[in-house]
Amino acid sequence: MSIAKKVTLVVSLLCAALLAGTAYGLLMLRELEVREQVRTQAQLLARALKLSAESALETSQQLGAIQSLAAGSAEMGITFYGLDGRAVVPAPREEAPVSSGRVLRVMERNQPEEELSGNAYAYRVPLVYRERVVGAMELNAVIAAPAWPRTSLLVGGGMLAVFALLVGFFSRRSIGRPIDQLMDGMDHVIRGDLTVALPLDRNDEIGRIAYRFNEMTAQLRDAQEEIHRSADAKLSLEQRLRQSEKLATIGQLSAEIAHEVGTPLNVIGGRARTLERKADQPAEVLKNSHIIADQADRITKIIQRMLDLSRARSPERTQVDLGRIIDDALSFLEYQIERSGVQVVRQTTALPAVKGDADGLQQVFINLVVNAVQAMPSGGTLTIAAREERRRKVGLDLAPPQQFLAVEISDTGDGIPEEEHGKIFEPFYSTKRRGEGTGLGLTVVHGIVKEHDGWIEVERAQPRGTIFRVYLPTEEQPATRADNTMEL
C-alpha cells in the first residue's frame, strides 16, 4: 500500500472516530437536556397543582378532574396518595412496598423527593393543608432516549466520504506524486543517467529531499567526469610508459649489441696488429686470418641473435670440449694479454665433455678473461683452473647432489669490494672506468650460464684480486680420474 493511501486511510479513520465521538457526545448532551426538561416540567407542574390538590384532597371528587386535566396537558402520570400511603386518584390499588414506603417517607419528612430509574422519572411532593400533611402527589414521566436522525447519519456519511476523497487527492498530489518522481529519478540513476533533475517547487521536507537528490546527482556527475579524466590520463600515461619501455628496451638492446660486438672487434683489432708485426711469417698470417674470419662470423651471429630476440630461442646443445673453449678464448685474447703484461697460468684436469652451446660458453670465458685482464692494467697473474665437484645446486638444498664442472678464473688486480658482489650481475652496473665497459658483460655471462643450468660464484682472492667460479653440470660418469696440475 502506498504512503498516500495509508495517509488517506488513517486520516479518514481518525475523522470517522472523531465524528462518532462527537455524535455520541451530542446524544449524551441531548439526553441530559431532555432529562432536565422533564425534571423542570415535573417540578413546575407540581408547584402549580399543589395548592388545588391540598384544598381538594379531602373531597376526592375534585382530585380526579385535576389529575385528568394536568395529565392531559403535561403528558405525565399524576397519582394522589392518602395518609396511609395508598393511591386515592386514580382508584385505590395494591401498591408495591417500595413505592408505598417512598410516599410515606415523603409525607413523614414533609420534603419533596425525585427518583430516576433508567428512563423512568418520578417526582413526589407532600400535600399540606392548614399546616397539616393530608397526603402526597407523585408525577411520573418516561424519558425517551433521543435518536439520531437518519438524515444526520446520511449527511455525516457523505461528509466523511467527501473528506476521504479530498484527503486522498491532496495526499496523492503532495506525497504520492513527488515520491513517484523521486523513484523515477532513482531508476534513471541506477540505469546510469545522471542528467535527471527533480522539480524544486516545494518548500517542505519533500522539496528538501528533491534538492538533496539533485545535489547528489550533480556530485555523481562530477565524480564520473573525474573518473573519466583519470582513466584518460592513466591510459595516456600507460601509453607513454609503454613507449618509454620500448625506448629503454631499444637502448638496452643497442648497448648489449655494442658490448657483444665489442669483444670480437677487440680480438680482430688485436689480431690485425699482430699481422702487422708478423706479416713476413706466413704461418702467423694464416693463423691470425682464420681468427679474424671466425670473429667476423661471430659478430654476424651476435647481430642475428639480437634480431631474433623477439622469438623464444634455446641454445643449441652439443657435446662441448670445455678445454678447447678455454684455449680458444686465450688464443683470441693473446694480443690483449701480452700488451697488458699478464702471465697466464692454467690448472686443469682431464675435463669431461659438457653438453652446451659452444658459442655461448666461448662468450662466457672471453668476457671473464677480458674482465680479468682489464683488472690488471699494470700486469699480474691470470689463473684458470678446472675441477669436478659433486654438490647440490645453489638454492636446491633438498635436492640430491649432482656432478658439476667448476672453472675458476682469478686475477691479482685490485679486486671487487664484497658489498658490490651482489650487484655486478645487474644490467648496466660496472666497476670499470668510463669507456671500458657497458655494464652488460657479466649480465650476459650470468644469463648464458643460467641457460646451461649452472651458476656463478664470486669471491675476493687472497691477498688480492677476484675469483669467478663457473659451475656447469656434467653427465654422470665414474669419477676415476686423478687430479694433476700443469702449467701452460
β-bridge partners, 472: 405
The torsion angles phi and psi of 22, rounded to 5 degrees, stand at -65, -45
Q: What span, in angstroms and rounded, lies between the C-alpha atoms of 376 and 378?
A: 5
For strands 113-117 and 133-142, give the pairing: unpaired
Element (H, E) at 147: none
The torsion angles phi and psi of 290, rounded to 5 degrees, stand at -60, -40
C-alpha neighbours within 13 Å on the C-beta side of residue 26: 10
Q: What span, in angstroms and rounded, lies between the C-alpha atoms of 46 and 126?
A: 10
Cα 230–chain centre separation: 20
Q: Quick check: 480 and 403 in contact, CB under 8 A?
A: no
Q: Quick check: 20 and 95 in contact, CB under 8 A?
A: no
Q: What span, in angstroms and rounded, lies between the C-alpha atoms of 194 and 321?
A: 75
Q: Quick check: 67 and 89 in contact, CB under 8 A?
A: yes
Q: What span, in angstroms and rounded, lies between the C-alpha atoms of 381 and 48?
A: 161
Q: What span, in angstroms and rounded, lies between the C-alpha atoms of 361 and 453?
A: 12
Q: What span, in angstroms and rounded, lies between the C-alpha atoms of 175 and 2?
A: 10
Element (H, E) at 75: none
Question: Where exactly does CATH 3.30.565.10 map onto the chain?
Answer: 314-473
Q: What span, in angstroms and rounded, lies between the C-alpha atoms of 267 and 271?
A: 6
Residue with cell 565524480: 223
The SS3 assignment for 393 reads coil
Q: Quick check: 87 and 79 in contact, CB under 8 A?
A: yes
Q: Residue 294's CB: how many other CB atoms inside 10 A?
A: 16
Q: DSSP letter string over 171-210?
A: HIIIIIHHHHHHHHHHHHHHTT-----------SHHHHHH
For strands 120-128 and 318-320, give the pairing: unpaired
Provide CATH code, domain 3-142.
Answer: 3.30.450.20
Predicted TM-score of the model (pTM): 0.40
Can you give the pLDDT of all 488 residues of the chain as single tens digits? 666 677 777 777 887 788 778 877 887 888 888 888 888 888 888 888 887 777 776 555 566 666 665 555 556 788 888 788 787 777 555 554 556 788 888 888 888 988 888 788 888 899 887 788 888 888 888 887 776 666 766 777 777 788 778 877 777 777 777 777 777 877 877 877 777 777 766 677 777 787 787 888 888 888 888 888 888 888 888 777 777 766 666 666 666 666 667 777 777 877 787 777 777 778 777 887 878 877 787 777 667 656 554 444 555 778 888 888 888 888 888 888 888 899 999 887 778 888 888 888 888 998 899 888 888 888 899 999 999 888 887 767 677 888 889 999 999 988 888 777 777 777 665 666 554 555 567 888 888 888 888 889 898 888 888 999 999 998 654 443 333 333 33
CA-based radius of gyration for the chain: 65
User: Which residues does 383 contact at the CB level (< 8 Å), separation at least 6?
Assistant: 344, 345, 346, 347, 408, 409, 410, 411
Q: What span, in angstroms and rounded, lies between the C-alpha atoms of 373 and 383?
A: 11
Q: What span, in angstroms and rounded, lies between the C-alpha atoms of 229 and 118?
A: 89
Sheet of 77-81: strand order equals 87-89, 77-81, 133-142, 120-128, 113-117
Element (H, E) at 247: helix 205-277
Q: What does the angle CA 367 – CA 368 – CA 371 come to, to the nearest 5 degrees?
A: 85
Q: Quick check: 404 and 391 in contact, CB under 8 A?
A: yes
Question: Where exactly does CATH 3.30.450.20 map onto the chain?
Answer: 3-142
pLDDT at 483: 39
Q: What span, in angstroms and rounded, lies between the C-alpha atoms of 285 and 280?
A: 8
DSSP 352: P
Q: What span, in angstroms and rounded, lies between the C-alpha atoms of 138 and 245?
A: 125
pLDDT at 216: 84
Provide CATH code, domain 314-473.
Answer: 3.30.565.10
Q: Residue 56's CB: how many other CB atoms inside 10 A?
A: 18
Which grid coordinates are listed for 319? 657435446
The torsion angles phi and psi of 63, rounded to 5 degrees, stand at -65, -35
Which grid coordinates are listed for 251? 637502448
Amino acid at residue number 122? A
